[in-house]
Amino acid sequence: MAVDHRDITALPDLATEAGRAGPVRVRMPIYVDLLPPCNAGCPAGENIQEWLRLIKAGEPEQAWRQLVQDNPFPAIHGRVCYHPCETDCNRAELDAAVSIHGVERYLGDLAIERGWALDRPATSTGHRVLVVGAGPSGLSAAYHLARVGHEVEIRDSSPEVGGMMRYGIPEYRLPRHVVDAEVDRLRALGVRIRTGHTVTDLLTEQREGGFDAVFVAVGAHLSKKVDIPSRDATRIVDAVSFLRGVASGQSPIIGRKVAVYGGGNTAMDAARTARRLGAAETLVVYRRTAEQMPAHAEEREDAEREGVTMSWLRTITAVDDDLTVEVMELDDDGKARGTGRFERLEADTVILALGQEADTRFLQQIPGMRFEGDVVQVDPQTLMTDVPGIFAGGDAVPSERTVTIGVGHGKRAARSIDAWLAGRPDVRPDKHKIATYDQLHLWYFGDHRRRHQPELDPDARVAAFAEVVGGLSEQQADFEARRCLSCGNCFECDGCLGSCPEDAVIKLGQGHRYRYDYTRCTGCGTCYEQCPVHAIEMVDDPTLGAGSGRIR
């Protein structure tokens, strides 16, 4: 909350002020800054409201620069993030959430098109940091560390950079030239990336490389195993290997009928990829219901549009000439259990998408490192392991496994590593309270419907791996930015200025907002009651001593 205390000291008693008479003021307005729910909901910690404001101000490059202070990959995130910011957007209560991901993609693509570059740090700290893993979390950490002057080297076992962004997300969702363009900015910052290098002895590599700290960000590239009886094991493939092979240019022979076993986003990607490889029938077999499916609804809906069918409450028990599946049912606790009834389904290939694990075996030889299953235990605030100087994030630690969460972990770890190397406490300020929809006074905002991104029709989608979703135009991106309600933060609409009956509001000039002349203010609350974004709150007048608390 931002309060200018100079405005509320030595306040006059309105009942005795020379030339005036009236009631004693018991409350007074103050200007505040609250946390927009979109910012609060962003795992990458973006200041979304600010970069939307800069677009509205006609400054797209400054908007991009504001965005990449927190997230180096806007063109990637605008395509693959599941945008929890939009789920939390207050505008959804009015008509529809702002298309934040669409505008983010617009800025990312514009930066690539115009060749916007980042400034290299003016000085070097002299510290060296090793990052293990070139996926979203490792790349993010390297980026943020390099920007403050640390020397960073990434080592990754894959032949190309990007981790699951390159090898797990199909090209129809994320074209590879977009990944390459945004990763190239890291190289331009001086980040060294060694591919085709598998780290097996971390402490030796740290010592021999002279690294002062390490960030481990290995992805979840190992498929979970399941024992399904089969006469022909060649008909069963795991989804991670399947998607990685296709991303590497392979064209596996899968036949006309494909069954995908699992209900997550990887299962949806595998099913949609199978359709593009020529499968006439692709079936997703899932042991629970649609409501219990872990895949994001939009992923499932896109798969169904492309001809993928869903078989709910079924589990595969054997793979012979056909599939044998057991019919499941939900018990009173909502858990799936077998019924003893079986069905036969046809499939030339079965793709197993039952979850992934991180390959953290190379860490288990380090004394003091703690694990829970395949993930490393870390301090939830700093992401440092129990071994000083070794940090971990992304898929290697307990968390939801998405690109955006990985990027957020990378930023958080970079700040912690920077503080640890400097020998200072990793102290972070408390966040402001969140501005909720019920606090807004929406007289200012009209009903402006959301602009939608163009999409290929289903027949064109499955014919090749062309990108399915297009980008917003310049006009559409500007329109969406202007739909932002600026929740909790003044955007200088002049409502308070025009509504004050005492002329107690003083405009300070564009970009500087306003201040109160408390010698004039009577505490009537008119400014507060009309403020469309709740950038004003009423508080007890401090000249009267302790009161009943702040009036919301």
pLDDT band at 552 (very low <50, low <70, confident <90, very high): very low
- Give the model's pLDDT for residue 497: 96
The dihedral formed by the CA atoms of 170, 172, 177 and 182, expressed in degrees to the nearest 10 = -70
Return the HEC string of 137-178: HHHHHHHHHHHCCCEEEEECCCCCCCCHHHHCCCCCCCCHHH
Residues 79 and 132 in one domain: no
Residues 213 and 235 in one domain: no
Residues 296 and 252 in one domain: yes
The percent of residues in the chain predicted with pLDDT above 90, rounded, is 81
- Residue ending a domain, among 331, 355, 379, is 355
- CA-to-CA distance for 484 and 220, rounded, in angstroms? 36
- Give the model's pLDDT for residue 546: 47
Residues 266 and 346 in one domain: yes
- Give the model's pLDDT for residue 14: 45
Per the structure block, which two tokens stand in for 540? Answer: 């007890």
**DSSP 8-state secondary structure symbol assigned to residue 399:** S
- Half-sphere CA count of 458, side-chain side, radius 13 A: 10
Q: Do residues 264 and 355 touch, judged by C-beta distance below 8 A? A: yes
Per the structure block, which two tokens stand in for 255? Answer: 């036949």
Residues 61 and 89 in one domain: yes
pLDDT in tens, 49-64: 999 999 999 999 999 9
Strand positions, DSSP E, 184-335: 192-194, 213-216, 222-223, 236-238, 257-261, 281-285, 308-311, 314-319, 323-330
What CA–CA distances, in Å, run from 37 to 49, 53, 430, 463, 536?
A: 9, 15, 15, 40, 17
Q: Residue 76: is its pLDDT beyond 80?
A: yes
Per the structure block, which two tokens stand in for 339? Answer: 């019924």
Residues 237 and 327 in one domain: yes
**Mean pLDDT of all residues in the chain?**
91
Which residues span the domain enclosing 365? Answer: 128-221+358-422
CATH number at residue 49: 1.10.1060.10
pLDDT in tens, 168-222: 999 999 999 999 999 999 999 999 999 999 999 999 999 999 999 999 999 888 8
Average pLDDT over residues 65-83: 97
Residues 231 and 339 in one domain: yes
Asked if the structure places residue 122 within a domain, the reply is: no
Asked if the structure places residue 331 within a domain, the reply is: yes
Residues 350 and 249 in one domain: yes
Q: Residue 3: is its pLDDT beyond 90?
A: no
Q: Residue 401: is its pLDDT beyond 70?
A: yes
Domain count, the chain: 4
Asked if the structure places residue 427 within a domain, the reply is: no
- Coil, helix or strand at residue 478: helix
Strand positions, DSSP E, 262-335: 281-285, 308-311, 314-319, 323-330
- Give the model's pLDDT for residue 19: 44
CATH number at residue 327: 3.50.50.60
What CA–CA distances, in Å, run from 489 to 103, 432, 536?
A: 20, 11, 9
Residues 217 and 227 in one domain: no
pLDDT in tens, 432-484: 999 999 999 988 777 688 999 999 999 999 999 999 999 999 999 999 999 99
- Give the model's pLDDT for residue 359: 87
Q: What is the helix (H) or strand (E) element at residue 371, kind and residue range?
A: strand 371-372
- CA-to-CA distance for 177 and 182, rounded, in angstroms? 9
- Residue ending a domain, among 370, 394, 422, is 422
Q: Residue 11: is its pLDDT beyond 90?
A: no
Asked if the structure places residue 428 within a domain, the reply is: no
pLDDT in tens, 372-384: 888 999 999 999 9
pLDDT in tens, 479-530: 999 999 999 999 999 999 999 999 999 999 988 999 999 999 999 999 999 9
Average pLDDT over residues 258-268: 95
- CA-to-CA distance for 480 and 475, rounded, in angstroms? 9
